[in-house]
Amino acid sequence: MANHARTARFDLVSLGETMLRMSVPSGRRLDDLRALEVEIGGAESNVCVALARLDRRVGWVSRLPDHALGAAVLRVLRADGVDVTAVRRVPGERIGTYYIEYAAPPRAAQVIYDRADSAAAHMALADVDWTYLLDTRILHLTGITAALSPSCYELVLAAVQRARAAGVSISFDVNFRSKLWSAAEAGARLRPILAAADILLCKSDDACALFDCSGGPAEIMAGLQALSSAQAIYCTFGAMVRACWPMTRSIISRQCRCRLSIGSAAATHLPPECSTACSTMIRCSGSGVASHWPRSA
């Protein structure tokens, strides 16, 4: 694995769907829209963009329609430094979209997805350039891709198996989406992927709902550790607390802005940061939470 990491073309490659994100201007409601602001959004490509901006070598693999909207996604990612040469373009298919109405507490933001039967949902083994996908130090996958369709689930499983055989480290973000599948189905189908992951990202709510973890942060982290052979596990507990285990054996609180070492009174001040997969990847890359995290040669 070490020799592969030294010679790999990419630091990280990810596989997944990127959609068009339509949002109403601040203060407007979706049921009273007059105009929409258009951006692109996808959990996997967001991670790629975040790391590309830190000068990491990243590639993104997907399936997009061969028309102007698919080209728009590629243009944005390419401009941010993400390699998209392995994305398959197909005629006569659609791109997924979602619509957002932002809100301030106590009202929750509203999201409407229109992603069924998208080009990405049709991804299968034959759509992937496997030499490209595995020419990386880390392969980043998510539970979102696994939930898109039966063929996408089989693709994610195959990617995990081939990455293990090739000595490629696997990063997996559970990222449960209740609009795509039930907690029971997701928990059962994602367990084999958790077991194979080298880096695991999972919200505490997902750990409890999908994998029957319970208790406080330390107990939930121990429950995830029992399900995975990951060298680094990252978990969030609402907006205020995040934890890394077992590499740092620490719980990080945004409320007190410090890292509290489990079993010790030591604390190190940290700036508050958003608890998202992208900021997690940046944090791991910058702080060395995972000793094997990708750094360009």
Q: Which CATH architecture has domain 2-287?
A: 3-Layer(aba) Sandwich (3.40)
Q: Are 12 and 58 in contact (CB under 8 A)?
A: yes
- Which residues face 235 on adjacent strands? 202, 243
- Token look-up 């790999």 returns 8
Q: Which of 281, 291, 193, 273 is nearest to 234 (CA)?
A: 281
Residue type, 272: P
Query: What count of other Cβ atoms lies within 10 Å of the Cβ of residue 225?
Result: 14
At 105 the pLDDT is 85
CA dist 112 and 148 (Å) reads 16
At 2 the pLDDT is 58
Q: Are 117 and 108 in contact (CB under 8 A)?
A: no
Give the domain ranges of the chain: 2-287
Q: Cβ neighbours of residue 235 under 8 Å, at least 6 residues apart? A: 201, 202, 203, 204, 207, 217, 220, 221, 224, 242, 243, 245
Q: Which of 132, 124, 146 is nearest to 83 (CA)?
A: 132
Q: Is this model's pTM higher than 0.75 or not? A: yes
Query: What count of other Cβ atoms lies within 10 Å of the Cβ of residue 66?
Result: 13
At 246 the pLDDT is 58
At 26 the pLDDT is 85
At 5 the pLDDT is 63
Cis bond leading into 246, ω under 30°? yes
Divide the 297 residues of the chain into consecutive groups of 10 and give the mean pLDDT of each group.
76 98 92 93 96 97 98 98 98 97 90 96 98 98 98 98 97 96 98 96 96 92 92 82 60 39 28 43 41 46
At 257 the pLDDT is 35
Helix (H, G, I), strand (E, B) or coil at 93: coil
